[in-house]
Amino acid sequence: MNEKNEYGTMICPTDKVEMEKKTFSMEGFKVRGWRCKKCGEEAFHGKDAEIYLLYKKLQNQPAKAKVGVLGKSTVLRIKKEIAQTLGLEKGDDINIRIEPPRKVVIEVPE
């Protein structure tokens, strides 16, 4: 996740000065971007903004997941878009808890 803090520079289209890097919090969702110290102009990182829009689209939208078996484990396959918006990668640890009677809550740590 270190690479998340390394991204290019942005020049303010108005002032022609390098903008300051800033992480915006959109309802708790982090979007990288830049802010101009002179005029206050803000710009969002294209890929982050794209993932944020996808996140908004998928929010509160029920999605089917497929149950599978891998060795002795039961695996749950979720849509690629959901994994992408949550930044899930192979090997990541997530927390799962059961809410009675038949609800499963999956939490992705920051």
Residues that bind Zn ion (CB under 5 A): 12, 14-15, 36, 38-39, 41
For 8, counting Cβ atoms within 10 Å of its Cβ (0-12 exposed, 13-18 middle, 19+ buried), the class is: exposed
Judged by beta carbon, residue 42 or residue 81, the one nearer Zn ion is: 42
CB 56 within 8 A of CB 48: no
CB 68 within 8 A of CB 53: no
Q: Are strands 73-77 and 95-99 parallel, antiparallel or unpaired?
A: unpaired
Judged by beta carbon, residue 17 or residue 94, the one nearer Zn ion is: 17
- Please report how close the Cβ of residue 16 comes to Zn ion at its closest, in angstroms: 8
- Please report how close the Cβ of residue 22 comes to Zn ion at its closest, in angstroms: 13
Judged by beta carbon, residue 30 or residue 38, the one nearer Zn ion is: 38
